[in-house]
Structure 1
Amino acid sequence: MRVNLLGPEGWAPDQAAENGKTVADDLELSIMYGVMAGGDQFIRTVVQDTIPRSSTDPEVITYRQRVVMDGCANPQLLRELYSIATDAAGARKWTVGRDRGARGKLYLSLEPLTKLIGFLRLLRSTCARNSAHFRSEGFLGLTERLDEQFGDDYLAEVERHLDALQFDHGFDISAELGPEGGIANAVLHEPLRHARRRQSLFGHKKGHVVGISHTDESAKQFIWRLVGKGLDRVADVVSHVTDVIVGFFQELRTELAFLVGCSNLFERLRTDGYAVCLPTPLSRDGGVSFSFRSLRDPALCLSTESAVVGNSIDGRGKKLIVITGANSGGKSTFMRSLGAAQIMMQAGMFVVAEAYEADVRAGIFTHFRVREDSSMTYGKLKEELVRMRELTNRITPASLVLWNEPFASTSEREASEILAPITEALLDSGVKVVVVTHLYDFASELSERRRATDLFLRAQRLPDGSRTYRMEPGAPAMTSHAMDIYRRIFSPSGPS
């Protein structure tokens, strides 16, 4: 039985993104992962694996969003279900190798299977008792399937068979004598249930009781081969059923871990006073689009005590977003908020905004400046060109690319000559490009084309030189206002 909390029937998880770790590092998602984990390493492993697997199906995204919000609305119930799944997933402590006999396989499966039936009963009753709290197809569907497939009568019958398979009163096995004295057609019969019948290994058969000397090793080996053949099919069935149920609980634990992580993040953001919303994923068939109100960078929200400023932008129909403006004006933070919102939306999560909508992208890629590395094989420019080539080789049409100060290691003219054709080629292939740049020639040349699909934003700077950390529409300006920083640091009223 599939869990189907993170996707509808027939849904399969998306492939892991090759660039997932780079994106997570550039967007500083590790801060968010830590809050989501809440100290649980398994949850952290799940969320950092699941979030970069961006879904491109709006139906899957909205399905998961409803499940996420169900979990956020019922955090204690969610953690109770996660605890049940965690305990059940660890019920089978040993596995049986191919060289183990039927008896070993059976006995190593009976005890965990008995426990697993108890966990199924507990899970079913917990879901049924709280079904009125659920609104999503995911949780309601799971509750219905558990009730249909694991009803009380069914579980009681399974427990009866498991009890019988303890063979407290011996085995009842029949077989024929095969060629050369071998065993043929061994059949395990209904287990004996009354102690009075336990007269021999084969049960009480008047006139057909055979005694075996404790020194007759050959006879003992023959009997144990007979027992093994009789138990073999039953052992395979019990072991397989145990593995299937453990697999179900492992899948349930994994999907619940992601939901618990979302609930932890939701509680933290709301406690800190930040608005969150369910974003609207738009199909790419409707064209390139994004629009949001009071969007914030989750990494900054979670790592600073100061209030984080939100940005509101209408970017519907825009394929290229160029961000310029004052140094230390919040440009990189704004770019991280865009990237985080896109990846969170396509993971089926909420975003840190009052409202957000965007078209789904086939992949999310980042290229941020890296700290100087003394072990670099090439010079800084060549090193960046190598990284850019590796990035563009992985980009597919309809992806999203976030560039933060590309080619800052060379002259403005050379950097513009490199960046401009790469940008145009990506736009022509349907890629959405967001770039933070200090390259005035590059930005101004694009601005002069006045294409309807281009959006130019500037970091806001007040007349007194102070930064608001808000982005506003505006053509590129030649100055980055570095003197503002100089005066703030070295003026008499500034820091000493």
Structure 2
Amino acid sequence: MNLLGPDGWGSSQVGENGTTVADDLELSIMYGAMASGDQFIRTVAADVVPRSLNDFAVIEYRQRVVADSCANPALVRELYAIATEAAGARRWMVGRDRGARGKLYLSLEPLTKLIGFLRQLRSTCEPSFSNFESEGFSGLTKTLTDNFGDEYLAEVERHIDILQFEHGFAISAELGSGGGIANPVLHEPPAPSRRRQSVFGARGRRVVAVSDTDESAKKFIWRLVGNSLDRVADVVSHATDTIDHFFRDLRTELAFCVGCVNLFERLRHDGYAVCYPKPLPQGSGPSFSFRSLRDPALCLSAVSAVEANSIDGRGTQLTVITGANSGGKSTFVRSFGAAQLMMQAGMFVVAEAYEADIRSGIFTHFRVPDDSSMTYGRLNEELVRMRDLTNRIQPTSLVLWNEPFSSTSEREAAEILTPITEALLDSGVKVVVVTHLYDYASGLADRRRPTDLFLRANRLPDGSRTFQLEVGAPATTSHAMDIYRRVFDRSSELGSDQ
């Protein structure tokens, strides 16, 4: 049973992302929407989403599971509720009987509950088998049917009933050297109605009575009982652990599915389009294309409708975004990074259509606010962060830059950033950069490489922003008319108030 990947998938199919991805893309807002008040779901989402899959088949496998979940929200939530309750069934407590019998009973109680939860899970899942189309949910139903069938559960419940020892113990042993116990065997307890074959050993008919005043004999008997029950307790404890682990793993996987359902419903309720992206196999060449792409964090937090972008970047390795301040450049790069991350998590994306090649890792370098606790100056601090990034990325990684080296002069920033960009592109890294550095951007544009794409934040003649990007040569970020209107329009307002 695997909802998040086919049998045999593992860490080899997971890429390494940068440590600042979640913060830079403001994923905490998305995690909150996925959790919808459930802290466990939030924890699972924050763990699963940033661990990007880099295997085409695993991504599509998980997409089908997520699509199944969104098509059957009530059923998936019910399965999650059962798994959550079952995951809390095992509570180790110290009983009055601290010996082997106490250990046995501490395993029997949760095992009894877990068997009940297995029956409940089956009765919920099996009638709805036809509702599921993904291999993941079909595999879950098959696991329940094959491994936890009626005959198996009935047999386990019969042995649980026997281990209550309502009719006493039936134990045989040999006398060992020095009067010790050798080869103890626990037999099926005596009960007139039991004549069927059992996992317990065959019982003889010899009986020895021990006087209540014979303390030495009592100690011997309790050692015998302890040795016998301790073995049974270990077997029961192992069985309980196995079923407990099954439910805990299932709860984690279903938590991710329910999180996707919560996010899907929230976005659709707010009127935003979502789609299942088309991942292009790793190594197929840098590419992306999307229609009506939006930033999920902004969609979930904005009080008004969020504008979308549609860009054809097939064959593009370098994307440079320039243009007017407050024109939607940072929002675009966050939407691009979030879509790539969600695609490689096997999720839907906030767009009408989206496709991109799979990348081995996603790394971000965004401008950070001033911090008085910085060990270095702003420029040195940024150089350290850039060094750490370049040391970790691989040739098939994706790098997202938002206003890099804004802490220094334009000329000095261009001299630092240009060779770094060239080295990354030469090694096969895909780069998306938002920049106010006109010299840097225009220098790249002058090279006229077919794999470069230049976008500008759209600005109307009256200075208003559309928050949409268009293909165009690099543009400066300063606009004299913007400054004029901001200063003199404000002055006229003040004058009219006097």
TM-score if structure 1 supplies the norm length? Answer: 0.93
1:165 correspondence with 2:159: no
Unaligned segments of structure 2, at least 5 residues:
195-201
Cα deviation code 1:403-427 (max 9, x no counterpart): 0000000011110111111111111
**Mapped partners of 1:489, 1:44: distance in 2:** 45
What displacement does 1:371 show?
A: 0.6
The residue number in structure 2 matching 1:192 is 190
**Mapped partners of 1:235, 1:492: distance in 2:** 81
Cα deviation code 1:238-268 (max 9, x no counterpart): 1001001100100000000001110000000
The residue number in structure 1 matching 2:173 is 175
Contact 2:322/2:329, CA 8 A, preserved across alignment: yes
1:41 correspondence with 2:39: yes
Cα deviation code 1:357-377 (max 9, x no counterpart): 001110111000111001111
**Mapped partners of 2:229, 2:83: distance in 1:** 30
1:125 correspondence with 2:147: no
Contact 1:16/1:49, CA 8 A, preserved across alignment: no
Cα deviation code 1:293-352 (max 9, x no counterpart): 000000000001211111001111111111101111000000000000000000000000
3-state SS of paired residue (1:449)? coil
Closer, same or farther: CA 250–204 of 1 in aligned 2, 3 Å: closer
The residue number in structure 1 matching 2:92 is 94
**Mapped partners of 1:415, 1:96: distance in 2:** 66
The residue number in structure 2 matching 1:274 is 272
The residue number in structure 2 matching 1:76 is 74
**Mapped partners of 1:31, 1:303: distance in 2:** 8
**Mapped partners of 2:18, 2:185: distance in 1:** 54
**Mapped partners of 1:307, 1:156: distance in 2:** 57
Contact 1:487/1:494, CA 8 A, preserved across alignment: no
Question: Which of 350, 353, 368 is equivalent to 1:352?
Answer: 350
Residues matched between the structures, number: 485
Q: Which moved more, 1:226-235 or 1:289-298?
A: 226-235
Q: Which moved more, 1:271-280 or 1:476-485?
A: 476-485
Cα deviation code 1:437-477 (max 9, x no counterpart): 01111111110000011111111111221111111111112
**Mapped partners of 1:495, 1:219: distance in 2:** 103
Cα deviation code 1:158-214 (max 9, x no counterpart): 111111111111111000000101100101112222499xxxxxx998774322334
Question: Which of 321, 324, 327 is equivalent to 1:326?
Answer: 324
Cα deviation code 1:264-293 (max 9, x no counterpart): 000000000000000011112321111000
What displacement does 1:102 show?
A: 3.1
Closer, same or farther: CA 78–208 of 1 in aligned 2, 3 Å: closer
Q: Which amino acid aligns with 1:213?
A: D
TM-score if structure 2 supplies the norm length? Answer: 0.93
**Mapped partners of 1:370, 1:190: distance in 2:** 70
The residue number in structure 2 matching 1:400 is 398
Q: Which amino acid aligns with 2:42?
A: R
Mapping for residues 391-430 of structure 1, pairs under 5 Å:
391-430=389-428
**Mapped partners of 1:49, 1:277: distance in 2:** 23
The residue number in structure 2 matching 1:209 is 208
Q: Which moved more, 1:121-130 or 1:18-27?
A: 18-27
**Mapped partners of 1:115, 1:95: distance in 2:** 15
Closer, same or farther: CA 28–239 of 1 in aligned 2, 3 Å: same
Question: Which of 240, 245, 248 is equivalent to 2:246?
Answer: 248
**Mapped partners of 1:251, 1:486: distance in 2:** 61
Closer, same or farther: CA 207–268 of 1 in aligned 2, 3 Å: closer
Question: Which of 214, 221, 224 is equivalent to 1:223?
Answer: 221
1:284 correspondence with 2:282: yes
Cα deviation code 1:97-128 (max 9, x no counterpart): 9xx75323211110100110111111011111
Mapping for residues 332-371 of structure 1, pairs under 5 Å:
332-371=330-369
1:110 correspondence with 2:105: no
Closer, same or farther: CA 230–344 of 1 in aligned 2, 3 Å: same
**Mapped partners of 2:384, 2:251: distance in 1:** 41
Contact 1:56/1:362, CA 8 A, preserved across alignment: yes
Question: What's the Cα RMSD here?
Answer: 2.2
The residue number in structure 2 matching 1:199 is none
Contact 2:110/2:240, CA 8 A, preserved across alignment: yes
The residue number in structure 2 matching 1:465 is 463
Closer, same or farther: CA 204–78 of 1 in aligned 2, 3 Å: closer
Contact 1:92/1:112, CA 8 A, preserved across alignment: yes
Q: Which amino acid aligns with 1:87?
A: E
Unaligned segments of structure 1, at least 5 residues:
197-202
Identity, % of aligned pairs? 75
Closer, same or farther: CA 183–88 of 1 in aligned 2, 3 Å: same
Question: Which of 24, 29, 32 is equivalent to 1:31?
Answer: 29
Contact 1:67/1:136, CA 8 A, preserved across alignment: yes
Contact 1:363/1:398, CA 8 A, preserved across alignment: yes
Closer, same or farther: CA 72–493 of 1 in aligned 2, 3 Å: farther
Q: Which amino acid aligns with 1:446?
A: L
Q: Which amino acid aligns with 1:247?
A: H
**Mapped partners of 2:362, 2:206: distance in 1:** 79
Mapping for residues 255-266 of structure 1, pairs under 5 Å:
255-266=253-264
**Mapped partners of 2:205, 2:8: distance in 1:** 58
1:54 correspondence with 2:52: yes
Closer, same or farther: CA 124–102 of 1 in aligned 2, 3 Å: same
What displacement does 1:14 show?
A: 6.4
Cα deviation code 1:77-104 (max 9, x no counterpart): 111000000010111011799xx75323
**Mapped partners of 2:6, 2:350: distance in 1:** 25
Q: Which amino acid aligns with 1:440?
A: Y
Q: Which amino acid aligns with 2:469?
A: M
**Mapped partners of 1:494, 1:205: distance in 2:** 108
Contact 2:295/2:338, CA 8 A, preserved across alignment: yes
The residue number in structure 1 matching 2:20 is 22
